[in-house]
């Protein structure tokens, strides 16, 4: 059905294109574009426009020799020639003879001032505050060279990404990740695919700490929406980038779009290979008999990846657009790891030791596609109707072979194998209608139906001397189905000084889990209302205030529910809980935005009240720890947030992002109290320096304090990133250098201190150095392309 749909759509597209070409009254325009020295200008943009409306009619770009040919049905038009670094030239009322217009040689003069402006605009990342969200426009941040979406996120105010790739907003991991306003396999934690989404593909990132009723209620700490680029510049435009780095970090990126009067074809392609080395340590100590088991190991994860985004917009007319787009990503994974496990008695004497080796191979195909229809309304440019259908598919076929070789003691050697056959399909159907009137009031309404369908076939087997035999107790098929229907309505009033927006969302949730082998079922159905409200006041051009409230939900995800566990470390096991309940959060915040000369500041306070909080609880027996999520009590978090940007000169700027939160936990589990009070804070300081000869530098310092959970204490983190850039060929090409974690100081360390046991886990990935070169053509700008998936 999918293939038939694509064939039908592109057949219709081709039919319209050929039909337009076959009409009578066509004018053929030709010529050659050169600079003042007589050198042909390749990829210069040639635009044909309507002299009455000033709207483009059609366009193209010049070939290698500067020549061009295009056709139009219009009889009255102007022609405009442009290229980055040159002044734009316009020809009005050209003379047409027998349907032909030969312009001969068109000369463009260099414009150094325009080139400087383009460079500056391409480098500045700015945060824009709107009534119910903040928008971070991703510029050419130097430290993001060769970066994935995860690393770009780590430069966004209020957002942190730890060494394991977990995204937090204001210190909380209850974040709903969206791509282009919708859940996507790219942002799905099971797919772990944000690494294939690269910095050059991102147009902006929206941080919504208090989402309005228009958005999904999922995500107790808010929503992060990654908006991908979709060029619509006339003619053919694009960019190509090549990156290489240490450790292995090699990639090629390519983007291309072609815009005509009716169609916009857009595409992005990325291929590469990368390696992620890691040092790992763990310790399990039994405090009752003072015995302990520790491990020290290394691993190298190698990935070859491919990512393709392809789509087309068909402009039926000025008010109606149909968009069909698709994304295909594929990863080939191979991981080797070695760890030495040692057991000590209460006299600290070594009693047993073995070396555990792992070889894991996996393939991860990911597909997503969307059909969207947008209707604008004549006379009201803000009024719109948007209908969309989206599909996301993800699969994982993984095999892990483990070998235990005894080095001390009498235990025999052991061979184990773990296999995973995983499949997930997500479908989303949306309708959104926006109706503003009188330049003051806006009503939004819409509905969404989302289906998540997962099947995970998992098994563990041991070698009995002849063959591998699966353990029935550790083998099962887990099915998870979730259906959510949402309906919302909002009303907004916004004048020069005051703004007000209120709304409510209703969501009906139907969840079902099944362990096939044991026939254990758990079905849940619940429905909830999620109100929201926002107010803004603009005292003057330099001072404004915002206040907001929203109710949110965190629904347990697949890995929270799936009871299977990984045997990579047989002494530290993580598993899911099929009986887990959702948690709910009431979120309040007040923020202010203030500009004082060369300084712009944002200061806010927030409060979150969360019930049925999901926390991982560790059980300990026979020196084995088992971590399982449970619903434990309530959490009250109060915090402050401060962001500031200072530009003392045109060659130097500083940006600071500070967050502090204090949380109070109340709850008990199986007779154990988990009441406690804790604090967490983080600070990020970014400085940009412009040097002569078009050289730019960037330094980013990050600090994340230690904090505690119901059982764990997480160690603090201090690390730095560095970036440098040099523009060449009049800004058409860019050389990039980035060093992430300059001092290899970024770590992930946790300690669990309980009356009967002590646990410690430590990991570090080290320094990553990436060098890249990017070239833009047409009206495309040079870009950076990721060769890095994680820190």
Which whole number is the average pLDDT over 179-204? 58
Q: Which of 679, 702, 693, 665 is nearest to 791 (CA)?
A: 702
135 - beta bridge partners?
128, 206
Highest mean pLDDT among 66-70, 134-138, 363-367, 634-638: 634-638
Cis upstream peptide for 247 (omega within 30°): yes
Higher pLDDT, 122 or 705: 705
Of residues 634 and 225, more confidently modeled:
634
The 3-state secondary structure of 414-452 reads EEEEEEEEEEEEEEEEEEEEEEEECCCEEEEEEEEEEEE
> Does position 141 have pLDDT exceeding 60, yes or no?
no
Let me know: does 363 contact 369? Beta carbons within 8 Å: no
Mean pLDDT of 58-78: 84
| Residue 31: predicted pLDDT | 92
Q: Is the pLDDT of residue 779 over 70?
A: no
Confidence of residue 119 (pLDDT cuts 50, 70, 90): very low
Q: Name the residue ranges covered by the structural domains of the chain.
A: 2-110, 235-777
pLDDT in tens, 582-634: 999 999 999 888 888 888 888 999 999 999 999 999 999 888 999 999 999 99
pLDDT band at 407 (very low <50, low <70, confident <90, very high): very high
Q: Would you place residue 84 in the very low, low, confident or very high pLDDT band (cuts 50, 70, 90)?
A: low
Q: What does the pLDDT read at residue 786? A: 31
CA distance 283 to 759: 6
Cα–Cα distance between 373 and 432 in angstroms, integer? Answer: 11
Rounded CA-CA distance 194/186 in Å is: 6
pLDDT-above-90 percentage for the chain: 41
Average pLDDT over residues 27-41: 86
Tell me the average pLDDT of the chain.
Answer: 82
pLDDT at 747: 92
Residue in 791, 754, 712 with CA at minimum distance from that of residue 160: 791
CA distances to 433, 438, 463 from 377, in Å: 11, 15, 68
How high is the pLDDT of residue 590?
93
* Choice between 545 and 255, residue whose per-residue pLDDT is larger: 545
Element (H, E) at 628: strand 624-631
* The predicted structure's pLDDT at residue 21: 41
pLDDT greater than 50 at residue 20: no
- The pLDDT of 479-499, averaged and rounded, is 92
Q: What is the structure's pLDDT at 390?
A: 92
Give residue-wise pLDDT tens across range 240-249. Answer: 888 899 988 8
Mean pLDDT calculated for residue range 728-753: 87
More confident residue, 118 or 740: 740
Q: Is 564 helix (H, G, I), strand (E, B) or coil?
A: coil
**What's the topology of domain 2-110?**
Immunoglobulin-like (2.60.40)
List the single range of 304-318, 325-339, 348-362, 458-472 with lowest mean pLDDT: 304-318
How much is the average pLDDT of 360-375? 92
Q: How confident is the model at residue 118 (pLDDT cuts 50, 70, 90)?
A: very low
Eight-state DSSP code of residue 528: E
Question: 780 pLDDT exceeds 50?
Answer: no
What residues have CB less than 8 Å from 365, skipping those under 6 apart? Answer: 328, 329, 330, 393, 394, 395
Which one is predicted more confidently, 13 or 422? 422
- Using one digit for the tens of pLDDT, what is the confidence trace for 428-442? 999 999 999 887 899
Give yes or no for residue 352 having a pLDDT over 50: yes
Nearest to 156 by CA among 205, 92, 219, 227: 205
Antiparallel, parallel or unpaired: β 100-108 and 27-35? parallel
Gap between the Cα atoms of 777 and 200, Å rounded: 15
Q: What is the pLDDT of residues 700-731, one digit of tens each?
A: 899 999 998 889 999 999 999 998 888 887 66
CA distances (Å), origin 397, targets 417, 419, 420, 423, 458 = 14, 8, 6, 9, 10
Q: Give tens-digit pLDDT for 654-666.
A: 888 899 999 999 9
Lowest mean pLDDT among 150-154, 223-227, 279-283: 150-154
Q: Can you name the CATH fold of 235-777?
A: Maltoporin; Chain A (2.40.170)
> What would the 3-class secondary structure string for 353-422 be?
EEEEEEEEEEEEEEEEEEEEEEEEECCEEEEEEEEEEEEEEEEEEEEEEEEEEEEECCCCCEEEEEEEEE
């Amino acid at each position: 059905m999918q293939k038939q749909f694509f064939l039908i759509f592109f057949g219709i597209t081709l039919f319209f294109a050929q039909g337009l070409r076959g009409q009578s009254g066509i004018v053929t325009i030709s010529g050659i574009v050169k600079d003042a020295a007589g050198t042909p200008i390749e990829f210069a943009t040639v635009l044909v426009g309507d002299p009455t409306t000033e709207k483009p009619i059609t366009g193209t770009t010049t070939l290698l020799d500067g020549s061009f040919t295009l056709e139009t049905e219009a009889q009255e038009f102007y022609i405009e020639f442009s290229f980055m670094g040159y002044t734009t030239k316009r020809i009005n009322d050209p003379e047409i003879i027998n349907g032909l217009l030969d312009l001969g040689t068109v000369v463009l003069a260099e414009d150094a001032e325009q080139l400087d402006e383009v460079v500056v605009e391409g480098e500045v990342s700015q945060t824009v505050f709107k009534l119910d969200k903040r928008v971070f426009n991703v510029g050419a941040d130097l430290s993001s060279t060769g970066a994935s979406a995860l690393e770009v996120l780590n430069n966004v105010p209020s957002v942190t990404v730890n060494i394991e790739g977990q995204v937090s907003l204001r210190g909380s991991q209850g974040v709903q990740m969206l791509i282009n306003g919708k859940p996507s396999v790219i942002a799905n934690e099971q797919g772990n695919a944000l690494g294939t989404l690269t910095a050059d593909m991102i147009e902006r990132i929206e941080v919504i700490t208090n989402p309005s009723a228009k958005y999904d209620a999922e995500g107790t700490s808010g929503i992060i929406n990654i908006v991908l680029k979709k060029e619509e510049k006339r003619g053919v435009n694009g960019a190509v980038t090549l990156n290489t780095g240490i450790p292995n970090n090699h990639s090629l990126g390519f983007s291309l779009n072609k815009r005509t009067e009716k169609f916009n074809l857009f595409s992005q392609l990325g291929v590469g290979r990368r390696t992620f080395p890691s040092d790992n340590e763990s310790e399990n100590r039994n405090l009752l008999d003072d015995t302990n088991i520790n491990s020290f190991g290394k691993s190298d994860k190698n990935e070859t990846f491919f990512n393709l985004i392809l789509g087309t917009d068909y402009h039926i007319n000025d008010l109606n657009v149909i968009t069909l787009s698709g994304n295909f990503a594929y990863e080939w994974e191979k991981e080797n790891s070695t760890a030495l496990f040692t057991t000590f008695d209460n006299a600290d004497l070594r009693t047993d030791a073995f070396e555990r080796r792992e070889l894991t191979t996996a393939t991860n195909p990911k597909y997503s596609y969307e059909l969207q229809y947008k209707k604008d309304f004549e006379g009201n440019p803000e009024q719109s109707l948007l209908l969309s259908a989206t599909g996301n598919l993800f699969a994982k076929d993984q095999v892990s072979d483990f070998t235990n070789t005894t080095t001390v003691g009498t235990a025999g050697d052991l061979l184990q194998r773990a296999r995973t056959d995983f499949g997930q399909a997500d479908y989303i159907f949306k309708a959104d209608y926006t109706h503003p009137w009188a330049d003051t009031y806006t009503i939004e309404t819409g509905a969404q139906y989302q289906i998540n369908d997962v099947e995970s076939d998992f098994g563990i087997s041991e070698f009995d001397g002849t063959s591998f035999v699966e353990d029935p107790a550790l083998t099962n098929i887990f099915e998870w189905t979730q259906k959510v229907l949402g309906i919302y309505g909002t009303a907004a009033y916004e004048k020069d000084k005051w703004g007000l927006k209120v709304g409510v969302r209703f969501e009906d949730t139907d969840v079902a889990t099944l362990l096939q082998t044991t026939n254990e079922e758990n079905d849940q159905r619940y429905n909830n209302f999620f109100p929201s409200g926002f107010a803004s006041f603009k005292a003057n051009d330099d001072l404004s205030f915002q206040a907001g409230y929203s109710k949110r939900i965190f629904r347990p995800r697949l890995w929270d529910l799936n009871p299977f566990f990984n045997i990579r470390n047989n002494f530290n096991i993580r598993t899911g809980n099929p009986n887990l309940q959702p948690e709910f959060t009431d979120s309040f915040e007040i923020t202010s935005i203030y500009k004082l000369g060369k300084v712009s500041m944002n200061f806010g306070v927030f409060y979150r009240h969360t019930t049925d909080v999901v926390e991982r609880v560790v059980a300990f027996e026979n020196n084995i720890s088992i971590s399982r999520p449970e619903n434990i009590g309530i959490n009250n978090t109060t915090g402050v947030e401060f962001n500031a940007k200072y530009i003392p000169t045109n060659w130097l700027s500083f940006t600071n992002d500070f967050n502090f939160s204090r949380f109070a936990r109340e709850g008990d589990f199986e007779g154990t109290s988990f009441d406690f009070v804790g604090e967490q804070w983080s600070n990020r300081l970014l400085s940009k320096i412009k040097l002569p000869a078009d050289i730019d530098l960037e330094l980013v310092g990050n600090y994340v304090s230690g904090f505690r959970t119901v059982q764990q204490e997480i160690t603090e983190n201090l690390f730095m990133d560095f970036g440098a850039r040099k523009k060449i060929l009049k800004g058409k090409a860019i050389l990039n250098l980035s060093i992430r974690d300059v001092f290899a100081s970024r770590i992930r360390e946790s300690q669990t201190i309980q009356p009967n046991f002590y646990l410690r886990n430590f990991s570090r990935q080290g320094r990553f150095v990436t060098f890249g070169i990017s070239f833009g053509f047409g009206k495309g700008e040079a870009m950076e392309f990721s060769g890095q998936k994680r820190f």
